[in-house]
Amino acid sequence: MIWFVAKRLLAAVPTLLAVLTVVFIIVRIVPGDPALVILGDQATAEAAAALRTRLGLDQPMWVQYWTFVSNALTGNFGASLVTGRPILEEVGAVLPHTIDLTLASMVLGVVVGVPVGIWAALHRNGAIDVAARLLSLLGLSFPVFVSGIYLLLLFGLYWRLFPVIGNADLSDFGDRLHKVVLPAVALGLTMAAYITRVTRSAMLHSLGEDYIRTARAKGVPWRRVVWVHGLRNASLPVVTVVGLYVGILIGNSVLTEIVFNRPGLGKIIVGALNQRDYAMLQGLMVIYCFLIVVVNLVTDLLYGVMDPRVKQA
């Protein structure tokens, strides 16, 4: 197991380096002088030169690259151009809100998606299956800002069951829970739809295997066959999809935070866009990519835990 973990960890290093390189290139292919882009066209030559020095843009390209990569790998993602505070600090301040939202929506997605997927697979081509397939297709098609606005209109403005503004008091658990419900439903809808579909097809595949017939022949109760023998073998594709879904979840959480006016990474991004805070954008992109690489790593490790055959590969 240790050898397996070490191998996976080692394999993530080149990916991280490559991700950093791509971010470095993307930010530098912007046409024009970044200093002027940041300051605007009316900036004086001195101000532009001063900013270039401050950002290290007057250094040769390889020095800039080296500084960028070594800083990022040591956890230094730079400072905001607007507030001057370190990016990690700004992110850390709002991170609990974003984590609340994404975790709640993931839980919702799994709690709804897995049973519905299994249910649909057990009633293949029946009414339940058709309904589950159509509803999951609808759920997949909802852009999160549209479902967010609809939920807000219905439950926030019309029935007034949930608050419209999502700025929760972090020390009050009840308040956090109350304010995360609507956004989590909006965000979890797509997730539940994805998980339903994958669970359904993985279960169909797994229920057709020989070990299921063996288990039934041995007299294992049907419920246990489905939830233990079937689901255990169907869980690999489901975990894969949840892992892959994190990229979409990140993008969607940005939109959800805008709609529900929640503090979080999404609001930081939009603020940075409006204020042309490119240092912040670059830092956020690196943080997001790190996050995705870590999630991929965890998914890989989970494979090893769930399916011992993976470790030998």
Site for another protein, rule CB under 8 A: 14-15, 18-19, 22, 26-27, 29-31, 133-134, 137-138, 140-146, 149-150, 152-153, 157, 246-248, 250-252, 254-255, 258-259, 269-270, 273-274, 278, 281, 284-285, 288-289, 292-293, 296
- Measured CA distances, 240 to 22, 29, 297, 313 (Å): 25, 33, 11, 17
Helix (H, G, I), strand (E, B) or coil at 26: helix
Please tell me the distance from the alpha carbon of residue 86 to that of residue 84, in angstroms, as a whole number: 7
Closer Cβ to another protein, 45 or 157, answer by number? 157
Tell me the one-letter amino acid at 220. Answer: V
Q: How far is the CB of 181 from another protein (least distance, A)?
A: 19
Q: How far is the CB of 65 from another protein (least distance, A)?
A: 16
Non-local CB neighbours of 208 within 8 Å, separated by 6+ positions? none
264: exposed, middle or buried (Cβ count in 10 Å: 0-12, 13-18, 19+): buried
Q: How far is the CB of 202 from another protein (least distance, A)?
A: 13
Q: How far is the CB of 306 from another protein (least distance, A)?
A: 22
How many other C-beta atoms can be found within 10 angstroms of the C-beta atom of residue 180? Answer: 22
Closer Cβ to another protein, 28 or 178, answer by number? 28
| Among the listed residues 164, 13, 179, the one whose alpha carbon sits nearest the alpha carbon of residue 96 | 179
Q: How far is the CB of 21 from another protein (least distance, A)?
A: 8
Distance of alpha carbon 177 from the chain centroid: 20
Closer Cβ to another protein, 168 or 269, answer by number? 269
- Measured CA distances, 127 to 135, 181, 195 (Å): 12, 30, 19
Closer Cβ to another protein, 19 or 202, answer by number? 19
- Measured CA distances, 275 to 38, 152, 157, 278, 280 (Å): 9, 28, 31, 9, 10
Closer Cβ to another protein, 44 or 274, answer by number? 274
Q: How far is the CB of 278 from another protein (least distance, A)?
A: 8
Closer Cβ to another protein, 21 or 53, answer by number? 21
Q: How far is the CB of 152 from another protein (least distance, A)?
A: 8
Closer Cβ to another protein, 9 or 228, answer by number? 9
Question: What dihedral angle (degrees, nearest 10) is formed by the CA atoms of 294, 296, 300, 303?
Answer: 120
Q: How far is the CB of 270 from another protein (least distance, A)?
A: 6
Closer Cβ to another protein, 14 or 75, answer by number? 14
Helix (H, G, I), strand (E, B) or coil at 79: strand
